[in-house]
Amino acid sequence: MIKRLPSLSALLLAAILPATALASTFPDKPIRFVVPYPPGGVADTISRAITDRLSQRLGQSVIVENRPGGKQIIGTMAVTGAPADGHTLLLSSVTSLSLNPATVKDLPYDAERDLAPVSRLFHAPLLLVTTPSVPGDTAQDLAAYARANPNKLSYASIGPGSSTHIAAELFNMQAGVDTEHIPYKGSAPAILDLLSDNVQFMFDGGTSSLPHVESGKLKVRAVTTAERFPYLPDIPTMAEQGFPDYEVSAWWGVSAPGGTPLEVRERIAAELRAILEDKELLDRFGANGVALAADSPREFAEFVERENARWTDFFAKSSMTLE
């Protein structure tokens, strides 16, 4: 007797049904939200504020698990091997999704295959700050001073390959200058050396430098977003000051293990969108230099694709080293 093979439509239906069933029951247990940073930082604080509200909306506990280290690779790997059912999520970022794939040799995960997009979450501009020893007030003044004093200026970053490092190298490239990179393990020691004039400028990844700007110990010359940041409207962009197409910002989103059903990811994204429309949250974090913004899994995937193309092109043209 010849065994009849299932039709193609039956096979497709069999593949779709488990995902549909999963989406209809999600979530049916606590959700683990992996944050690849230590507790207490800006990203961790925002994650906890958002996950508290997400827990209320989903009717399940959302537990933040801090897994810092290794350029976010440790935390990312804690998610890539998890079940693809929506109950494990990652605070992903420009580092884990775009910069690591472009710069890390033998990266132990494939961002496109091993992670599935859910939504963007928040982003922060970088601020170009300098010591008072650098004359002038604009980004162009800094560039002119660097050209007139070759190999004299150095800049701080929070580490090789970070957005603060890349922002300075993009400035060097567009300004046609050569300045020395001094990497630090975090923003606190970098700002400390900036205040001591051991380094002369930095693209600050938060608002930690603003109190020193207000006291006159540092100067802020530009913001790195394409448009002025709404909560810092008096700070001009790099593009306004003659650096065309200059745009660098630190951004974060939510990713799930690769293979997580689209229906589940769309449900999470919809809840995040509702949460991030809260004016209290928008104003609280906006005052700290962070903008909240959600989108759909498709929109997040398209955004990451554009970022990947941009940074792949940048690294191909740049001579920056990541060691």
Reported as a single tens digit per residue, the pLDDT across 124-144 is: 899 999 999 999 999 999 999
Q: Are residues 81 and 98 in the same domain?
A: yes
- Three-state SS for 318? coil
Contact by Cβ (8 Å): 86, 264: yes
Domain identity same for 111 and 133 = no
Residue whose C-alpha is closest to residue 72's, from 45, 49, 44, 48? 44
The number of beta carbons lying within 10 Å of the beta carbon of residue 304 is 23
Instruction: Say whether both 112 and 255 belong to one domain.
Output: yes
pLDDT exceeds 80 at position 197: yes
- For the cut 90, the answer to whether the pLDDT of residue 24 exceeds it is no
pLDDT band at 10 (very low <50, low <70, confident <90, very high): low
CA distances from 129 to 5, 178, 201 (A): 68, 17, 6
Same domain, 118 and 253: yes
Note whether 168 and 248 are within 8 A (CB).
Answer: no
Q: Which pLDDT score is estimated for 18?
A: 54
pLDDT confidence tier of residue 2, bands split at 50, 70 and 90: very low
Q: Which tens digits make up the pLDDT trace of 62-79?
A: 999 999 988 899 999 999
Asked if residue 67 belongs to a domain, the reply is: yes
The chain-wide mean pLDDT, for the chain, equals 90
Q: Averaged over 22-33, what is the pLDDT?
A: 88
For 183, the domain range is 127-241
Among the three residues 213, 241, 269, which one is the final residue of a domain in this structure?
241
User: Do residue 195 and residue 267 come from a single domain?
Assistant: no
For residue 87, give the nearest of 253, 265, 252, 262 by alpha carbon: 265
Residue 8 lies in a domain: no
| % of the chain at pLDDT higher than 70 | 92
CB atoms within 10 A of CB 28: 10
| CATH code, 176 | 3.40.190.10
Counting the structural domains of the chain, the total is 2
Nearest-angstrom CA–CA distance, 283 and 292:
10
Is residue 143 included in any domain, yes or no? yes
In-domain check, residue 218: yes
DSSP three-state, residue 251: strand
Our measurement of the distance from residue 210's CA atom to the centroid of its chain's CA atoms, rounded to an integer in Å, reads 21
57 within some domain: yes
Distances from the Cα of 142 to the Cα of 73, 146, 180, 227, 232, angstroms? 35, 6, 14, 21, 21
Q: What is the pLDDT of residue 314?
A: 87
Angle at 233 between CA 271 and CA 155, to 5 degrees: 95
> Got the DSSP string for 171-184?
HHHHHT---EEEE-
Residue at a domain's end among 195, 220, 241: 241
Determine the Cα–Cα distance for residues 228 and 234; give it in Å rounded to an integer.
8
Closest Cα to residue 143, out of 232, 225, 222, 228? 222
